[in-house]
């Protein structure tokens, strides 16, 4: 047991150091002066190098060997959490030792600079500012994929960082089944009379939006004594410690819904991180099962709760009190239809829940082509426009609203995008079971009593962290593997009623 204890001690150092790096990154995205970016990139690169050295120290290999842990087996003599810890720690070690520390440091430094260039390029609507840095990010990603190894596609080595054990062929299979159903529903909605949401074309003061947003977050179970809300260019959540789970958002005075759903979405992520069981705190198991499962939690709250008519039966009267001049003549039913308006648009983070997954399919296809070399960076903007017209029937009028709209590529997150759509599929399948377990589900929403929902998520999903794989988690809860039909059935049932189709 002493070898296992030593491994846990080493892992806890990794846990603390990684949160220190996250603090530097959070500060860069929120409060850091713009001119500090170069030194910040050096700081992050230095700490990433130290972290990588710790992760690849030969003592890990010695301790795993002492415990008879290898690529094929983990001893049966440990309890479930210890077995899970050894599985995940060994998996991480095997991946990290394949990557030279200098590559990690260089990649981290480039990411820090690339993010600042992406912000500048987006502000100035100038893709050429970011393009050379994107080329470097892609080169680094290919090197990492080659070093980590893969059997089918280099993208698989990158995808595995965010959705363990899944391959791009599996993603493609799921998306190929999802796309026709979405196309059919989108086509029928296009032919139906459109919902009038013109009453939302008002000035909604940001400070009042923030007041309402924090109220929603608190009541859905996000603990402000263990977290905080700040503003950023691109909303995100991050964990800096067991009792320090932070979320960010953005507001637009002329777009009430953007702020509302950004707040709900990020609080869903934060609530997940705050819900890890005490038995796994302080270790690598205190992480999301996968990014697809993480996204299932944020998008569950954003869409299956936040766009439910029963939810607004409770919250809409409060919203009218905050914005009486703008909403006093708008019925709750009309507002509910407005928040569920389906209209293909160029912006992913503001997309409705029917068209959103098409945005992800677009990015997944472009990422595959970029990593394989079938698509060059210089041709990326045109390819973006072509795929957008094909999947969504819309064409961006600028780089900022098109190829530059997301932060992910500047952050080196190739392989991350598919997890958003997987999150939609996971949460629909989870919710199917949740509604049978919580028999008064709709009544809870109408009364604003969200604790039973949060508690179900804690018991069934949150507390396990990464001690259970996504494949096992979905099977344990629903009794079957990931199935896109649940999501398509949910959308069909809801939007047939809203659009009378």
Count of beta carbons in the 10 Å neighbourhood of residue 481: 9
For the cut 90, the answer to whether the pLDDT of residue 73 exceeds it is no
pLDDT of residue 152: 96
Q: Do 301 and 274 contact (CB within 8 A), yes or no?
A: no
For residues 350-363, average pLDDT: 96
Question: Do residues 79 and 192 share a domain?
Answer: no
For the cut 90, the answer to whether the pLDDT of residue 72 exceeds it is no
Q: Do 344 and 355 contact (CB within 8 A), yes or no?
A: yes
For the cut 80, the answer to whether the pLDDT of residue 148 exceeds it is yes
Assess if residue 468 is contained within a domain. yes
Count of beta carbons in the 10 Å neighbourhood of residue 362: 20
Lowest mean pLDDT among 177-181, 230-234, 477-481: 230-234
Q: How confident is the model at residue 75 (pLDDT cuts 50, 70, 90)?
A: confident
Using DSSP's 3-state secondary structure scheme, residue 109 falls into helix
3-state percent breakdown (helix, strand, coil) of the chain, nearest 5 = 70, 5, 30
Question: Do residues 253 and 393 share a domain?
Answer: yes
Instruction: State which residues form the domain around 458.
Output: 168-499
Burial of 230 (0-12, 13-18, 19+ CB in 10 A): middle
Question: Do residues 351 and 308 share a domain?
Answer: yes
Question: Do residues 135 and 175 share a domain?
Answer: no
Question: Do residues 138 and 183 share a domain?
Answer: no
- Per-residue pLDDT tens digits for 215-254: 999 999 999 999 999 999 889 999 999 999 999 999 999 9
pLDDT of residue 176: 94
Assess if residue 336 is contained within a domain. yes
Domain endpoint, select from 115, 149, 183? 149
Q: Do 43 and 24 contact (CB within 8 A), yes or no?
A: yes
Assess if residue 193 is contained within a domain. yes
pLDDT of residue 77: 73
Residue 431's nearest CA partner among 453, 448, 451 is: 453
pLDDT of residue 370: 98
The total number of structural domains in the chain stands at: 2
Domain endpoint, select from 149, 183, 214? 149
- Per-residue pLDDT tens digits for 271-316: 999 999 999 999 999 999 999 999 999 999 999 999 999 999 999 9
Question: Do residues 35 and 74 share a domain?
Answer: yes
Assess if residue 159 is contained within a domain. no
Question: Do residues 82 and 177 share a domain?
Answer: no
Dihedral class, residue 125 (left if φ above 0, else alpha if ψ from -120 to 50, else beta): left
Question: Do residues 327 and 463 share a domain?
Answer: yes
- Per-residue pLDDT tens digits for 312-336: 999 999 999 999 999 999 999 999 9
Whole-angstrom Cα distance, residue 341 to residue 131?
A: 35
For the cut 90, the answer to whether the pLDDT of residue 403 exceeds it is yes
For residues 399-413, average pLDDT: 96
Question: Do residues 345 and 259 share a domain?
Answer: yes
Residue 287's nearest CA partner among 247, 246, 248, 239 is: 239
pLDDT of residue 312: 98
pLDDT of residue 257: 95
For the cut 90, the answer to whether the pLDDT of residue 74 exceeds it is no
pLDDT of residue 24: 97
Assess if residue 163 is contained within a domain. no
Active site residues: 266
Domain endpoint, select from 107, 122, 149? 149
Question: Do residues 276 and 190 share a domain?
Answer: yes
Q: CATH number of the domain at 284, please.
A: 1.10.1370.30
For the cut 90, the answer to whether the pLDDT of residue 1 exceeds it is no
Question: Do residues 251 and 301 share a domain?
Answer: yes
For the cut 90, the answer to whether the pLDDT of residue 339 exceeds it is yes
Q: What is the mean pLDDT of the chain?
A: 96
Question: Do residues 38 and 137 share a domain?
Answer: yes
pLDDT of residue 336: 98
Whole-angstrom Cα distance, residue 455 to residue 447?
A: 16
For residues 258-280, average pLDDT: 97
């Amino acid at each position: 047991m002493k070898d296992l204890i030593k491994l846990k001690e080493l892992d806890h150092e990794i846990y603390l150091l990684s949160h220190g790096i996250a603090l530097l990154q959070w500060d860069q995205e929120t409060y850091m002066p713009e001119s500090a970016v170069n030194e910040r990139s050096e700081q992050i690169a230095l700490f990433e190098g130290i972290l990588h050295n710790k992760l690849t120290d030969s003592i890990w290999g010695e301790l795993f060997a002492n415990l008879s842990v290898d690529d094929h087996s983990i001893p049966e003599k440990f309890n479930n959490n210890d077995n899970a810890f050894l599985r995940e720690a060994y998996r991480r070690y095997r991946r990290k030792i394949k990557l030279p520390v200098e590559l990690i440091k260089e990649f981290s430094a480039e990411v820090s600079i690339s993010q600042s260039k992406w912000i500048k390029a987006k502000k100035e609507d100038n893709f050429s500012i970011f393009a050379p840095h994107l080329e470097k990010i892609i080169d680094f990603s290919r090197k990492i994929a080659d070093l980590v190894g893969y059997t089918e596609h280099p993208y698989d080595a990158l995808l595995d960082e965010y959705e363990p054990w899944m391959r791009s062929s599996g993603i493609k299979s799921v998306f190929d089944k999802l796309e026709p159903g979405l196309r059919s529903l989108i086509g029928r909605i296009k032919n139906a009379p459109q919902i009038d949401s013109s009453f939302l074309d008002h000035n909604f003061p940001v400070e009042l939006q923030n007041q309402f947003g924090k109220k929603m977050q608190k009541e859905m179970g996000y603990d402000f004594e263990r977290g905080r809300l700040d503003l950023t260019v691109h909303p995100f959540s991050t964990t800096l410690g067991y009792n320090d789970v932070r979320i960010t958002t953005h507001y637009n005075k002329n777009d009430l819904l953007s702020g509302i759903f950004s707040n709900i979405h990020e609080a869903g992520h934060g609530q997940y991180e705050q819900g890890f069981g005490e038995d796994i705190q302080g270790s690598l198991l205190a992480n999301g099962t996968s990014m697809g499962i993480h996204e299932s939690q944020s998008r569950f709250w954003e869409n299956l709760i936040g766009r439910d008519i029963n939810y607004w039966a409770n919250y809409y009267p409060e919203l009218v009190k905050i914005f009486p001049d703008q909403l006093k003549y708008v019925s709750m039913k009309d507002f509910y239809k407005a928040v569920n308006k389906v209209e293909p648009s160029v912006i992913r983070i503001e997309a409705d829940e029917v068209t959103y997954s098409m945005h992800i399919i677009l990015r997944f296809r472009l990422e595959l082509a970029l990593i394989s070399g079938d698509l060059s960076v210089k041709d990326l903007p045109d390819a973006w426009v072509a795929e957008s017209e094909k999947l969504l029937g819309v064409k961006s009028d600028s780089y900022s609203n098109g190829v530059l709209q997301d932060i992910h590529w500047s952050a080196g997150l190739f392989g991350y995008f598919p997890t958003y759509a997987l999150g939609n599929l996971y949460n629909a399948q989870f919710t199917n079971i949740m509604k049978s377990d919580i028999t008064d589900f709709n009544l809870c929403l109408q009364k604003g009593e969200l604790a039973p929902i949060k508690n179900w998520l804690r018991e069934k999903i949150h507390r396990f962290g990464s001690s259970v794989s996504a494949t096992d988690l979905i099977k344990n809860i629903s009794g079957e593997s990931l199935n896109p039909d649940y999501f398509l059935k949910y959308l069909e049932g809801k939007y047939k009623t809203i659009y009378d189709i």
